[in-house]
A and B are shown apart, each in its own frame.
Chain A
Amino acid sequence: MSVANCYLPWEAEIVERTQETPDIFTWRLRFTDPEIARQYTFQHGQFNMLYLYGVGEVAISVMSGDGSSLLHTIRAVGRVTQAMMDLRVGDRVGVRGPFGRGWPLFDARGQDIVFVTAGLGCAPVVSSIRYVVANRPDYGRLVIMQSVRYRHEALWAPQYDAWRGLPDTQVLLTSSRDKTRWPLWELGRVGVLLDQADYDKNNCYVMMCGPDQMLRDTAKTLIEKGVPGPRVFVSLERNMQCAVGHCGHCQMGGKFVCKDGPVFPFPEVAALMETEGF
């Protein structure tokens, strides 16, 4: 990130655009300044502030890539992201980042890796699943658990099938609102998957993202099952406007989610997640 002015975006071009579902799309971006493109690096779990001309900025986690080919998967839900839906290949946007603390993928080498996601906001986790898959020999068993409301909303379904075929890998899926049970799918919330997961409780790292309540309940269950608390990591979402610890919107008690997170060891935020209003 530019040392001189942490508020100033860089220009980037949309070089490719994929419509994933009616309201989810993926951009492949390239910084127009070759020097920025060359220097840009990120850690999985970090985010960028994406800027739409004349509308504003929004925090979006970095999916993968580098400065000449940066992937962001965006769900059109708010004022800025809905307007971003209309952009086409060749259009320019602003980008600043990356910001925040990412997943502990380095510390987790040699350990079993458990990913738990709920809902559609699982982009922060998908980037690190891809990383672990790409560096399979560095890690132990890989367990991926995902819950969605309806099976047809499962954005990454084709990938799940591919990942299922990898050695020492388990993919567990559930839909909470479907009536019919499909092959390879459970019915219910993510909790129904936890008993089926096969991993070494004492030698694992858990990485989760989803709504606060699901994170809290799942983290507590896993800890009750014997996973050490400091090995459970959650990626949190809060209102982010500056991304640099100045604007105060992302505060959660004494934490600035933008710079102290968005990824936290669960014990750091457990108490605050118990009370409404933080």
Chain B
Amino acid sequence: MAEVPRYFPRARLAELISVVQRAGFRVIGPRVDQGALVYREIDGVEDLPQGLTDEQAPGHYRLAANGTQRHFSWANGMSAIKPFVYAPRERLWRVDRDTHGIHFRPLMSIAPRTAILGVRACDLSALILNDAHFLRNLYPDPYYRLRRENLLLIAVNCSHAASTCFCASTGDGPEVSGGYDLLLNELEEGYLVHSGSPSGDEILQKLATARPSRRQLDQARHQLDACRQQQRAMPPAPRLTGLMSRLDHPSWDAVAEQCLACGNCTAVCPTCFCHREVEAPALDGQSSVHRRDWDSCFNEDHSYLVGMLVRPDIKTRYRQWMTHKLATWQEQYGRSGCVGCGRCTTWCPVGIDFVAQARRVLEDEA
């Protein structure tokens, strides 16, 4: 928080949302759905959670009232913002057949201009990793690019860490450090707001704001400091490469006994990128659509090769997930693929603790 932010009271959050909507964006924000927070389209401030916090633990997620007026006094929800850039199902192209042959046509739907409100530090870090994978690649992905270019990111610094959070140890949070258009700090009575881009400036200019008081600035700083005191810490990245020299460690067998290979962890992880290509021929036989759907290295056929599976059992699949995320990702993109959001631990139906498992393999006592 280098430059001085501006301040607006809580009642004016509705105005921020309508300014963004008037600028031509659909607004995505946190919403309560089946007892958890997910990012969905919102019409206005009334769709946001209020006075709610999240209790997270391995295999456990619960929203509870916390007696405040705050909209963002929780750590994170089940879905990250990944689905808005890397769609769970993306139609890639269509092919039509006639007497002359077959004709391919890309299916590049016009991505709606999308503002996401409530983006967390960990999810912004994950977005930078998604960019590295899909855009700073020998073959940039045109579908991802289209969605990415139409995003407006309104981040919110965390004021509350869940027991599963460890972004402080991975260096990805709880404070947002860049990559946003607007950044909010939620206070008891309102918001501090920073702009991080020309689009952010434009929105901010249309909003009535004031100079924050010293007390308000202090409140924001104290919240972040409290949030940095997290209960879990991932060992530092250079230690994590050691997983690759412990591929025979007995704790891989132990975790395979528990793991159901359901793929929940890869589905909620904000950095997993695997997908399968799927062909959907039309019933009349004259056309076919080629698409991609999210996949998981926990699926048996992820490693299918004619006549064999490279990873035939849960042990080799769990090991693929963990070693890729924490160790070999570093070889691919220069850092670990884990941003410390804790989702894989929270949403694991049998409560496998990702950090504890990494420590067990590394024989590293927390």
Residues of A within 8 A of B (CB): 1, 4-11, 13, 32, 51, 53-57, 77-78, 92-94, 237-239, 241-242, 244-249, 251, 253-254, 256, 259, 271, 275-278
Kindly identify which residue among A7, A51, A242, A277 contacts B319, using a CB–CB cutoff of 8 Å. A277
Closest-CB distance, B107 to chain A (whole angstroms): 10
B residues sitting closer than 8 Å to A (CB atoms) are 92-93, 95, 97, 101-104, 106, 108, 133-134, 137-143, 244, 247-248, 273-277, 279, 281, 285, 288, 290, 292, 295, 297, 301-307, 310-311, 315-316, 319-320, 323-324, 328-332
Q: Which residue of A lies closest to B280 (CB)?
A: A54
Top 3 closest pairs, chain A to chain B, by CB: A254-B331, A277-B316, A248-B274
Residues from chain B with Cβ under 8 Å of A11 in the complex? 101-104
CB pair A57–B277 under 8 Å, yes or no, is yes
Q: Do A5 and B142 touch across chains, with their CB atoms under 8 A apart? A: yes
Given the complex, which residues of A lie within 8 Å of B332, measured CB to CB? 254, 256
Of chain A, the residue at the smallest CB distance from B93 is A8
Given contacts A11-B101, A57-B277, A253-B328, contact A246 B139 (CB under 8 A): yes
A239–B303 touching, CB < 8 Å: yes
8 pairs across A/B with beta carbons < 8 Å?
A: A7-B92, A237-B305, A239-B303, A239-B304, A246-B275, A249-B276, A275-B247, A277-B316
A246 in contact with B104 (CB, 8 Å): no
Q: How far is the CB of A277 from chain B (nearest CB, A)?
A: 3
Residue contact B142 to A246, C-beta cutoff 8 Å: no
Select from chain B the residue with minimum beta-carbon distance to A247. B275
Supply 6 further A-B pairs (C-beta < 8 A) apart from A239-B304, A239-B310, A278-B320.
A10-B104, A237-B305, A253-B323, A277-B247, A277-B311, A277-B319
Is B295 a contact partner of A238 (Cβ separation < 8 A)?
A: no
Cβ 8 A contact of B95, one of A94, A238, A253:
A94
**B247–A245 CB distance below 8 A:** no
Q: Which residues of B lie under 8 Å from residue A10 when comparing CB positions?
A: 104
Contact A78 B306 (CB under 8 A): yes
Q: Which of B138, B276, B295, B311 contacts A245 (CB 8 A)?
A: B138
Q: Once the chains are docked, how many angstroms separate the CA of A51 from the CA of B92? A: 14
From residue A49, how far is it (CB to closest CB) to chain B in Å? 9
In the complex, what residue of chain A is closest to B248 when comparing beta carbons?
A275
Give chain A nearest CB distance to B246 CB in angstroms: 11
What's the minimum C-beta distance from B338 to chain A, rounded to whole angstroms? Answer: 15
Q: Using known A-B contacts A246-B133, A247-B274, determine if residue A54 contacts B139 with beta carbons closer than 8 Å.
A: no
Contact A94 B316 (CB under 8 A): no
Task: Report B-chain residues with C-beta under 8 Å of the C-beta of A5.
Answer: 93, 106, 108, 142
Task: Assess A238 versus B310: contact at CB under 8 Å? Given A53-B102, A247-B274, A251-B324.
Answer: yes
Partner of A53, one of B95, B138, B248, B276: B95
Tell me the complex Cα distance, A147–B239, Å. 43
List chain A residues, Cβ under 8 A from B279: 54-56
**B289: nearest chain-A partner, CB-CB:** A54
Task: Give the residues in chain B near A57, CB-CB below 8 Å.
Answer: 277, 290
Which residues of chain A are near B307, meaning CB under 8 Å?
A: 77
C-alpha gap A51/B288 in the complex (Å): 12
A103 to B290, CA, bound (A): 31
- CB-defined contacts of A93 to chain B, threshold 8 Å: 102
Chain B residues near A78 (CB, 8 Å)? Answer: 306
- The answer to whether B303 and A249 touch across the interface, beta carbons within 8 angstroms, is yes
In Å, the complex CA distance between A38 and B330 comes to 40
Chain B residues with CB below 8 A from A238, complex form:
303, 305, 310
A9 to B281, CA, bound (A): 16
In the complex, are the beta carbons of B273 and A248 less than 8 A apart? yes
